[in-house]
A and B are shown apart, each in its own frame.
Chain A
């Protein structure tokens, strides 16, 4: 655990204690229910995997917002992927869509419980190390960008 993370956890503990003092144990408990569900229900654990052409990952729910998204961008450690090398589909058996083909007229439509898979043709070179994958979604209805960041070491693709 890094000093940063340890410091953050200490601060979290302090804030939790303050919440309990002001609003009681139930508030802490209920906020934890929500936090745990959000944490467990969006990114599919360990789904960030190296593929022969790059990497893939999966979501079990949309990140925080539903609706139609006319733009999708993936970044690895801050570097944006070319849109024609990023694909999305609703799951096995559904067709892939290239992110460069998303538009206000042909958006990606997500609702609660929608699972999605993302693939990028962007080889991850070198030894396995933690990377930060950032997914950005642009709603057709509400301007602010919706994003999700995964920071972990991609798993090796299982042998076929």
Chain B
């Protein structure tokens, strides 16, 4: 009895994920919205409909019945395919051709599903469609809990199910003839109690040689938003064609606003760029008008996790979506805590760990807050818009004060750990039943105890201080700026003095008190990328990270396989993470190891190709097999995109008026590369690279200053300039 009741085989094929800005539908491509996937070591069913980051339903199936025979959709599937804005499957059963279409819709948030039937029979065919699903109605961010009690109410127009303040509505174009609750017949009306399944039968008659159609719509999320969204569309389910066209047009326009990259010497990277861009777009989320961002991933991280969002936003700047970045930052800073609220793990200045509609939010990580100042600073460089500097500067100042409260004054090191435990302590006396996870630390590897001073957290703190100093310069606040600069200097000095591990020619993972934690993790490479170390130490660290114990052919492990605590299945103590592979690429380029950087990027590109454009969160440490892994994670695509622009193309956007530094990191044997439509300030930039030359074309309103490393040049609006580049260097 190792399995659950009703356990099914893990789905090996790629999932079907349909998304809108406020909803998602998940299936396995067989015909129903079912998707069984290994999660945390066991198979879990994730199929169904999601709206406003609330899981509305478990698996949603449709069966067909005619006289004595019945079938489900997977059993009679002939083919399936995606179409712009939706997904389609074709089925053949009893001389009937059945075409199914599914589209995710944003407002009201949910899914429209159509089944069209074409008969080849010369007789009338009476058909019954049976729709079945289990209501869920709980935010995805709360893992593993399915509510027990629901309220159900039928009306002339639809059926409503609610739990607490969450609700869903089901409508269909063919009225149900019979309803079933928990497999028993139900007359309708009102019901309150446990619900494991709701089903409805819909009779349809297909004329001889003719066709028939039924459409369903399941929408939901916050009940109060649902009521207002349905006020205008209650009786109009909508056509999947029109809804999909609208969805596809939004995506086409978005893609058109992003740059195009061409790498004739590495077409796999060009393809990977387009795949990663598409994948990132799927994570866009605006579940209500006040909540904008990107969800962390699918299926079980479909909430706005602020750590993940901060990692994704730089990629959005490179893709030119300044507006989404600004709206995302506004969302996050609106939830910056001004006070201490132990129940939620909040401290003054802290930014939340998670956000979902309600609003539902929770604080209590050591690093999420530290990731945002650099994003703000980068946004100002890319947009050239300093109008909101004062507003952002205040928020960033509160972050600095939050960090200073956790800083060890003599060393400048930031202390972390105990954030989640504080929440547990705060709730200890409040209930007769308590739950918890013994998680003593909350860095990006939050299931590992890396207290007290993990190196990557110190790098984030240093970047926070540097970014704050930049922003405070614009805000003309020299007092606070000087303080930040001094704190950053002291911290950098400590990092250089305390973290070098001479025996490994690498960097300690952390300091426990003042004792080094001698573990080889890829997180140390963040210090290389930040150029905090002496060049020789940086090169040695990149070389050490490339050894087999940390770098595998499918990516970089979270912990060296030589470490006594290494476990190939442990989330943060052995599994391979694509974000770690991107860190390794970034660090390799940072020290001038172009070939190695490109090889890491190729490793990531190979994963995208193998996963049909999805990007798994992590893999086993001993073979390239996803384990305990979301099938799509923003972590696994955004850093790849960022490295393409910042390291492979070597672009850094300057401050103030339009200026840019371009020092490409292409391997010496590459012959050409092209970038078209990079959005900067009020214009677009095109670049064409050949060895030793860079052709620059700019269409902003003023001149663009371009630093190639061999000199600074001005490019006039609407003109092109062919600039010299310094000879490439490859450090081995």
Contacts and interface: CB of A to CB of B under 8 A. Distances in A.
B433 A149 contact: yes
A15 B342 contact: yes
Contacts of A114: 4
Interface in A88-147: 89-90, 94-95, 97, 106-114, 139-147
Contacts of B44: 66-67, 111-112
Contacts of A107: 2, 41-42
A22 B339 contact: yes
B67 interface: no
Contacts of B342: 15
The prevalent SS among residues of B at the interface is loop
A109 B7 contact: yes
A37 interface: yes
A57 to B, nearest CB: 10
B639 interface: no
Interface residues of A, number: 63
B42 A67 contact: yes
B435 to A, nearest CB: 5
A17 B643 CA distance: 45
A89 B440 CA distance: 30
Given A27-B358, A65-B143, A67-B628, 15 more contacts: A12-B343, A30-B165, A31-B358, A33-B360, A34-B139, A62-B145, A67-B42, A109-B7, A111-B45, A139-B41, A141-B571, A142-B571, A146-B436, A147-B437, A151-B432
B41 A67 contact: yes
Interface in B540-577: 569-571, 573
B359 A23 contact: yes
B563 to A, nearest CB: 14
Nearest to B565: A143
Interface in B1-43: 1-5, 7, 39-43
B519 interface: no
Given A140-B41, A143-B447, A62 B433 contact: no
Interface size class of B (residues with CB under 8 A): 35 or more
A38 B142 contact: yes
A116 B134 CA distance: 20
Contact of B1 (A42, A97, A112, A145): A97
A41 B147 contact: yes
A5 B428 CA distance: 9
Given A23-B335, A109-B42, A114-B4, A33 B433 contact: no
Interface in A1-43: 4-5, 7-9, 12, 15, 18-19, 22-23, 26-27, 29-31, 33-34, 36-43
B430 A34 contact: no
B418 to A, nearest CB: 13
B145 A33 contact: no
B232 interface: no
A66 B2 contact: no
Contacts of B429: 4-5, 7-8
B343 A15 contact: yes
Given A27-B358, A36-B164, A109 B145 contact: no
Interface string B606-631: 00000000000000000000011000
B144 interface: yes
5 contacts: A19-B341, A22-B338, A31-B358, A144-B437, A149-B433
A66 B42 contact: yes
A33 B165 contact: yes
A135 B404 CA distance: 38
B4 A90 contact: yes
A123 to B, nearest CB: 23
A94 B358 contact: no
Interface in B304-335: 335
A33 B358 contact: yes
A148 interface: yes
Given A37-B138, A97-B1, A68 B41 contact: yes
Contacts of A154: none
With most chain B CB atoms within 10 A of its CB, the pick from A8, A30, A106 is A30
Given A33-B358, A149-B434, A150-B433, A141 B40 contact: yes
B439 interface: yes
B571 A110 contact: no
